[in-house]
Amino acid sequence: MTVDETIRQVLADHGRLAVPVDTLADDADLFGAGMTSHASVNVMLALEDAFEFEFSEKMLKKSTFESIEAIRTGVLEMTGE
């Protein structure tokens, strides 16, 4: 799977979104789409599992998880790609 496909799968499995993840644009507001703070913790942990890294403290902010685009930026920064 590509990075984006993995992110979307993680969101489908753990984001508890109110709408199917494949209906969301890359820049759609995930919190606006129903992701709670608690769900965002699960998304964070699942991303760490999927990409085999641990988010640094400076990455742990709401904006890191606010959209697929933002998550992709964070993942690529953490994986050094």
30 vs 53: CA distance, rounded Å: 22
Count of residues interacting with another protein (CB under 8 A): 14
Residue 77 CB neighbour total at 10 angstroms = 15
Determine if 16 is a binding residue for another protein (CB under 8 A). Answer: yes
In the set 21, 24, 39, 78, which binds another protein (CB under 8 A)? 39
Pick the binder of another protein from 64, 68, 71, 78 (CB under 8 A). 64
19 binds another protein (CB under 8 A): no
Cα dihedral 22, 26, 28, 29 sign: positive
